[in-house]
Amino acid sequence: MLKVPAHQVAGHRADRGKLGPRVDDSGRFYKPLQGDERGAREVAFYTSFSSDTKVPNHISRFFPKFYGTQLVEASDGSGMKPHVVLQDLTFSRVNPSVMDIKIGSRTWGPEESADQIQKCLKKDRESSSLSLGFRLSGMQIFGTKESGFWKPEKKWIQSISTDEVRLLLKKFVSSDTSALKPDCAFASIVYGGSKGILSQLLELKAWFEDQTSYHFFACSILMMFEKELALEGKSPCPEIKLVDFAHVFEGRGVIDHNFLGGLCSLIKFISEILTTPEDSTTNVLVEDAHRSHVYPENGSA
């Protein structure tokens, strides 16, 4: 009994007869393999990475567990299709706030065609990828049981300015998703602390300064936590995971400077929220953002 993932914020969705990933009741995520070299590269990456003894445990925990590939009935009714079977990253979570951040100023790999390069370059220039080294691909923020999730439109979120990106990174860890000014109430327990998101990003950064095996293009970092746990005085379980490896290439002895540069840029944004949460340059944007680009969506899964 496969179903559409409740907390997917980016990528193709398996609803309305379309092809997309689904999850089962035991914590597995079934992602249809793209029929071209992208699918082949994603399987090649998971196969190689999951058996790579050079990757330390404190890094491999940032990647979904890999359970091989499996023929599964496709969500678009097109019959049995090969899927990559992965860990369902939000399986044990109730109402997670999730942000999908595509890392790198360049989202095209070394083997793309001239057409594909132009297409990706255009998108990198129109989004914040080129300027910031990353772009928001999708997000949901849990509000309350009554209001459910705040989930801005994907098309809008990929076209926003630097100040709006900064604002959403603040809003992500604020108590009231409809407030005019983000209060960053959960910044210190989600982004900060020895087990917070910033610490995890810094661990990842240290690995990227050293590893020369893989180059990750168009790969995303998911940031997740649970506001309700925080409200109960518990840890909100902040966590980062890397996803989407259809454009991973061999590093051939060179570090992934494209990913690393974008990661450092994201780290700088998160650090600044922790050190100067009251910085008000972007406050004026809140109302606009909230008024124009939100659509209501029912709450918990």
Q: Quick one: 105 or 140, whose CB is closer to its own copies? A: 105
Least Cβ distance, residue 243 to its own copies (angstroms): 21
Selected binder of its own copies within 72, 229, 255, 285 (CB under 8 A): 255
- Nearest alpha-carbon partner for 100 in 70, 67, 139: 139
Residue 128 CB, nearest distance to its own copies (Å)? Answer: 9
Give the residues across from 239 on adjacent strands. Answer: 224
Give the interface segment with its own copies, choosing from 17-25, 61-69, 81-89, 261-269 (CB under 8 A). Answer: 261-269
Rounded to a whole number of angstroms, the CA Rg of the chain reads 19
Quick one: 155 exposed, middle or buried, by C-beta within 10 A (0-12, 13-18, 19+)?
A: exposed
Minimum distance of its own copies from residue 41's CB (angstroms): 18
For residue 29, the SS3 value is strand
Strand-pairing partners, residue 215, are 249
∠95-100-102 over CA atoms, to 5°? 170
Name residue 70's beta-bridge partners: 83
Identity of the residue, 70 or 162, whose beta carbon is nearer to its own copies in the bound complex? 162
Query: Which residues inside 19-78 make contact with its own copies, applying CB under 8 A?
Result: none
Q: Which of 34, 131, 188, 235 touches its own copies by CB under 8 A?
A: 131
Number of C-beta neighbours around residue 231 at 10 A: 13
Binding to its own copies (CB under 8 A): which residues in 70-129? 105-106, 110, 121
User: Is residue 162 near its own copies by the rule CB under 8 A?
Assistant: yes
Question: What's the maximum distance between 2 C-alpha atoms anywhere in the chain?
Answer: 53
Please report, as ranges, the residues that interact with its own copies according to CB under 8 A: 105-106, 110, 121, 130-133, 162, 166, 209-210, 212, 252-255, 257-258, 260-262, 264-265, 267-268
